[in-house]
Structure 1
């Protein structure tokens, strides 16, 4: 074996070992660095007669007009054909600072037919603690549209009762975080796995030294971090780009009974078992037959039902699964038998009940 051949083999082995490596930033999230949900209630104006007739819309409109010094007489219906009450929600990203802009989604909460062409008036957005963290206002973008003829016929495409305002809210308050506090940073895995947590611990300790990181459990890895905020940012930028080979998933078979989708994991195995699967089809056909009286007898022609019942059963052969069946063998056997998704679901459930399917069967 030449030196070039040895180098090539070593390179291929090295590439294979890192083929499925992921960055720490793709496998986990830093504890405390998270989004926050905001929600508000407001009015959309400027609609083309598609406003709602809800009583709370009139009440909100009256309150708004009073703030501008205009009083609507009691008992008078303002007939708000161009105004709709809406809910406004947004996601406040971590470390968002006052003055930055975020997108908002506006949805009708009354009986408005369409928000197309409307403008959202100033709407405070509150967090779960009741404090205002952003203020939204602006012209909406509605993807749906509709048209209606004079004869009552109509057509609608997509949803007209909801829309978005890009950069429609201005952040007014910063959410405090514990990112720069304490002596540790904790990575929380998106998919808890003991093997992945152990490997992440080993990769970080190879860079920082022994005992710098340790796996708390299957979902968390804690790392000793500098207290200075600027050093902590640089420290984290290095750690989140380290590559870790995640642990392989447990053997699972996922079945979506609504769509007929079946996903079989790589490590699914089947013990030796013989399977046969067939369908019994029963067909009943009803015909009407006229019966005439015999000869010249004084009788009446009557109509009697004539039913024909047929039963057909598919003659599907029995097929054998041998021991240590791999995913490829399972796919080949199913394709050879020609089982439909519904049949395959029944077969997998029967295999699990018989103890031959060495995997977790999950129905979603």
Structure 2
């Protein structure tokens, strides 16, 4: 179990000190998602095949904008596009980004291309949710993998159909946000909690020396800004304040990978756990039955079924008052419980009321 140095013991509940900027955000100051569609050229025969129609249509439209008209060409259906690939682009426009700033772009194949290695992304507009163009992307791709094939053999490393263009997009339109005109600011907690919201408001008022903050609910704290006050300076002061937080006890379970993460604030109640296993294996073998010589019988396939059972003895774990998560994990390891067994046991403990924590299943 790992505890941060800032964690101290206060009565029966653990208190953690954290900066406001790490546990909350300013309402309205947010990132914006961008998306686009374009083509990557310069591939070495690893692009989209002729079975994928839209890369060819994209290429024809691009060439038409360049002054090359292929709409009436009789060889249009025979064009090969193995050296290009249709891709989707995604990027994040940060808050306060201005025209001329550069942002990273993630490029992913939209067709059946085998690899984007060595490709060049042509000029592609990036759109926001409102349909407006906020950035333009172009540049060479950087991949963390490759795919090489010859004579039916294929060698692939990592994921060669997704790459990045570092600083590949230039911002063309800014999202309007004027802090100077905002007379009321709101801080939004990442994890809703009434006590943390009250402690945050009290800490802000104590550090600033005036009734600046007020907790509206379990997630929102409002700041009353004076007409002549410098908002960026105020936010810089507020975000650096350390407050006492009371994180919610949580157990996170990933049933697909068998991963279990138990927080340090999880409490256990007295409980007895009986855990055993019964495995039943049914094996069917098919044997061929041949008729005797000069008989009128026919060849038949006869299934031979064998059932094997194995019942393991029940393992018992007893947790007394004040038991810790360390003791639970240690006892589960001693009985040889697998990750799947631990997940089942934790779910049963939650249903029995012996696990005082939020159980989140991914």
Give TM class, smaller chain. 0.7 to 0.9
Check conservation: 1:65, 1:71, Cα contact below 8 A: yes
Classify the secondary structure of the residue corresponding to 2:89: strand
Say which of 43, 48, 60 aligns to 1:47. Answer: 43
1:38-89 CA-to-partner distances (Å, cap 9, x unmatched) read 1112222222222323322222222222222222252432433322222222
Deviation at 1:248, TM superposition (A): 3.2
| Aligned residue in 2 for 1:215 | 215
Say which of 18, 35, 41 aligns to 1:22. Answer: 18
* Higher fraction of strand: 2
| Aligned residue in 2 for 1:127 | 128
Classify the secondary structure of the residue corresponding to 2:207: helix
RMSD: 3.1
TM-score (ref. length: structure 1): 0.81
Structure 1 residues 226, 134: closer, same or farther in 2, change over 3 A? farther
Deviation at 1:221, TM superposition (A): 0.9
Check conservation: 2:38, 2:88, Cα contact below 8 A: yes
Structure 1 residues 98, 286: closer, same or farther in 2, change over 3 A? closer
**Greater C-alpha Rg:** 1
| Aligned residue in 1 for 2:55 | 57
Classify the secondary structure of the residue corresponding to 2:166: strand
Q: What does residue range 132-281 of structure 1 map to in structure 2 within 5 Å?
A: 132-149=133-150, 151-227=151-227, 231-250=230-249, 252-281=250-279
| Aligned residue in 2 for 1:31 | 27
Structure 1 residues 70, 283: closer, same or farther in 2, change over 3 A? closer
Deviation at 1:146, TM superposition (A): 2.0
Distance 2:285 2:347 in 1: 40
Check conservation: 1:180, 1:227, Cα contact below 8 A: no
TM-score (ref. length: structure 2): 0.82
Classify the secondary structure of the residue corresponding to 2:179: coil
Unpaired stretches in structure 1, ≥5 consecutive residues: 1-11, 289-303
1:11-62 CA-to-partner distances (Å, cap 9, x unmatched) read x999878983111111111111111111112222222222323322222222
Classify the secondary structure of the residue corresponding to 2:180: coil
Unpaired stretches in structure 2, ≥5 consecutive residues: 287-301
Deviation at 1:197, TM superposition (A): 0.7
